[in-house]
Structure 1
């Protein structure tokens, strides 16, 4: 009997060790798992299969299996190759960045776009509501949070009226948040007769793993011609009928030009997965001869998620940090970068690149502690951390050398980098970046700089709490 148990232990340990060697990319993690597997008979194998396998990645890849991903063709006249950036007054040292993101995003960089930032809830929501009210053919709307009260009442009313006019509408909501929000947006949309679907609803999937695979994307496209994307949810806390009332802040963007087709492409692929319905051609996309040349912004959509072979959002951050020559500005409500990003920030600072990071001072204590547990190394390198006063700002923005902008839904935390489905847009245009720099300057004027010396003066129990929250940051 003992010989049988020993042989079983050896066989299971060998099989599990092979899986560790083949699948674990981090050498330290692989070595630790091998020690646990061999020094804890049976228990080591059990714990590896329970905790060591990345089921999120496997489930994310598997859930799209068999679905044909649509990629709307881009007209050749709008495509900008990396070697022609100088024609658009973009420095040649951005060529590695453009090449890298082209391979990561599997999308072309395109010219002919007009992109306008919308800095307040009233501005962003009014622009979206106006576009919906003037819609003629189609509306697609994808959002993480959709409150059925507050500003949500106006959206549901405009969508219902557009639907009555014969405009075809599709609304895609994150399956978890749709069930958590009260009053129920699911009931409100159903009562209004507006077609909608839920992305990875755990009530439908009946699998806990889907709680991690959230759609954090925010996309709205009207008539295939006008698009909106950025950080704004349809959220009651970001709008007030009283213009003098302080509400949460964010940054959204109104986009026109050929880039709109990339927004629509992301939506129709997520809609196919969530509902099984295929959306192609008219009225969801413009015909080739209808696609306008709206402006001079070079742009490219980056649809990131755990189902992708390469980590698109992390790769975009890393490449941008690596090509920076003068300055990097980052604004994110959840700034908890991993070791690789921390090293890239440190390397940029060592090249005498100025790095400024803006986070809300009135964030939750746990999330702020997780940031503090991570930021100390960056502050030690020489980065500047700015704690912005209320109201809470939800913007996710990155600027490199006042020429390049990355905007969208992705944060600098484990959820955005590894677990959620995100959508960002990279933009090359100094005039657009200058408008975003105005936001950074405004926040810097009212913010408090938090230095490395101040971090070292934090009480021991605060720094201990910072370290604990950093360890558990992937679960925040």
Structure 2
């Protein structure tokens, strides 16, 4: 009897493995990911089955995008916001910008101010000043929040705002901030801060969505000023962690109608997390002195298409003489790899800046599997030397730049909720150019010999890590 039950159980596991492999074949968003899951499910179903059901979901279900859904409360509120933005729409954008607008499902607006914030002190001084000036409400969202010296400073600024009568909404990713202790959160709640984790697996129906993350870093004050970029909340982001050393990152502060795009992304995330529709200011207003064009591009696994990957490909294809990219995690999908190589073959100055020091070993090793092909095509690869590089910035010619949260890897392209500001403005592009010239001067350039002369065992490990990259 025992042997019969054991045999039946083994047959059932293998049958489920075959059925799950068929599901992976039909639903995986990349061929590489489908192959990785199919091989695992057919050869090691005892381990691969639970991993697939908890981490192999191709889409994020249950999330309502107000930009794309009709006949719901969020959509009706946004109709009023979109009407107030009409005076600030840019009517004659070129085809490259139109493609970005289509991906974003948000408009390009004029009348904005976009200010670079280079490294931690500038970023958090600007953010804390903005929090202290809030009159009505604050929206705060981070992937990682730590209960350390910087986290405590943030907490105190939020508590001071609540004591002034400001409504504060605080959203954090459940996995990214898993080490944040309950005491920190209880202290916020006790004083009146609205606090919620972003749980990708909310409810029984969506219990198999554990591999998704909300990687956005967004702050909005009164619907008038907003921040986004690479910084989370922790002392390492100020360069105070010896393991990482100096921390190189870039953030952005916006004023003008584009801030409502940041607000909308937060608003949708808050609705998913809490089921509530926060009452916010949706009246657009322009900056009184600066007139820059900006479009906010939210992206994530709830999108009907791979918004982040398509955005990067569009930026690459739009370049005519320069494309400079910085990313701490560089394992792009095949479409982005091909676009980068083709751009270099067209004679474009394609540069990619990545860290010298690994932060995530698997991602670090994966890059060695394809860097040789990049270098042979003429793509220039640089490794940042002084500390850990974490900024996510792209410069296109002398005309446009992006700052945001998207890394060039599968997790950012297909598994994370991300957000990017696309700024087609020559003055802003010149500021980004100046910043990146200094960064490239702090890099060393990788050679083809460095890649090809690695020991065989390192090449094998890199290929194995690369095959796993779609399921990271």
Question: TM-score by structure 2 length?
Answer: 0.84
Residues 97-154 of structure 1 deviation map (CA, whole Å, 9 limit, x = unaligned) = 2121121111111111100011121111011111111211111111111112111111
Q: Which residue of 2 aligns with 1:314?
A: 309
Q: Which residue of 1 aligns with 2:296?
A: 301
The verdict on how the C-alpha distance between 1:21 and 1:274 changes in structure 2, with shifts beyond 3 A counting, is closer
Distance 2:159 2:362 in 1: 40
> Is the Cα–Cα contact under 8 Å of residues 296 and 429 in structure 1 kept in the other structure?
no
> Is the Cα–Cα contact under 8 Å of residues 397 and 406 in structure 1 kept in the other structure?
yes
Of the structure 1 ranges 323-332 and 28-37, higher mean CA displacement relative to structure 2 is found in 28-37
What SS does the aligned partner of 1:458 have?
A: coil
Residues 34-60 of structure 1 deviation map (CA, whole Å, 9 limit, x = unaligned) = 9999xx8xx99xx899959995234x1
Q: Which residue of 2 aligns with 1:62?
A: 62
Q: Which residue of 2 aligns with 1:276?
A: 275
2:401 aligned with 1:405: yes
Return the match for 1:326 from 321, 325, 337: 321
Structure 2 unaligned regions, length at least 5: 1-15
What SS does the aligned partner of 1:114 have?
A: strand
Computed over aligned residues only, the root mean square deviation of the Cα atoms, in angstroms, reads: 3.6
Q: 1:113-128 maps to which residues of 2 (within 5 A)?
A: 113-128=112-127
Q: Which residue of 2 aligns with 1:383?
A: 379
Residues 428-450 of structure 1 deviation map (CA, whole Å, 9 limit, x = unaligned) = 11111121112211121121100
Distance 2:293 2:383 in 1: 32
Residues 195-224 of structure 1 deviation map (CA, whole Å, 9 limit, x = unaligned) = 111111659769763331211001101121
Residues 11-47 of structure 1 deviation map (CA, whole Å, 9 limit, x = unaligned) = x99999997886567789989999999xx8xx99xx8
Q: Shift of residue 190 of structure 1? A: 3.0
> Is the Cα–Cα contact under 8 Å of residues 111 and 286 in structure 2 kept in the other structure?
no
Q: 1:304-383 maps to which residues of 2 (within 5 A)?
A: 304-364=299-359, 365-383=361-379
Q: Shift of residue 185 of structure 1? A: 3.8
Distance 2:171 2:21 in 1: 42
Distance 2:143 2:40 in 1: 39
Return the match for 1:439 from 435, 440, 448: 435
What SS does the aligned partner of 2:268 have?
A: helix
Q: Which residue of 2 aligns with 1:233?
A: 232
The verdict on how the C-alpha distance between 1:26 and 1:386 changes in structure 2, with shifts beyond 3 A counting, is closer
What SS does the aligned partner of 1:209 have?
A: coil
Return the match for 1:420 from 398, 416, 425: 416
What SS does the aligned partner of 1:444 have?
A: helix
Residues 442-461 of structure 1 deviation map (CA, whole Å, 9 limit, x = unaligned) = 12112110012221122222
The verdict on how the C-alpha distance between 1:189 and 1:247 changes in structure 2, with shifts beyond 3 A counting, is farther
What SS does the aligned partner of 1:224 have?
A: coil
Q: Shift of residue 335 of structure 1? A: 0.7
Q: Shift of residue 277 of structure 1? A: 1.5
> Is the Cα–Cα contact under 8 Å of residues 36 and 468 in structure 2 kept in the other structure?
no
Q: Shift of residue 173 of structure 1? A: 0.8
The verdict on how the C-alpha distance between 1:133 and 1:375 changes in structure 2, with shifts beyond 3 A counting, is same
Distance 1:28 1:388 in 2: 29
The verdict on how the C-alpha distance between 1:381 and 1:250 changes in structure 2, with shifts beyond 3 A counting, is same
Q: 1:140-289 maps to which residues of 2 (within 5 A)?
A: 140-182=139-181, 185-200=184-199, 209-239=208-238, 247-280=246-279, 284-288=280-284
2:455 aligned with 1:466: no
Q: Shift of residue 187 of structure 1? A: 3.5
Distance 2:443 2:31 in 1: 41
Aligned length: 445
> Is the Cα–Cα contact under 8 Å of residues 162 and 191 in structure 2 kept in the other structure?
no
Return the match for 1:392 from 381, 388, 396: 388
Q: Shift of residue 302 of structure 1? A: 0.6
What SS does the aligned partner of 1:421 have?
A: strand
Q: Which residue of 2 aligns with 1:101?
A: 100
Residues 265-295 of structure 1 deviation map (CA, whole Å, 9 limit, x = unaligned) = 1111111111121123xxx32535x554552
> Is the Cα–Cα contact under 8 Å of residues 121 and 239 in structure 1 kept in the other structure?
yes
Distance 2:438 2:217 in 1: 25
Structure 1 unaligned regions, length at least 5: 1-11, 86-94
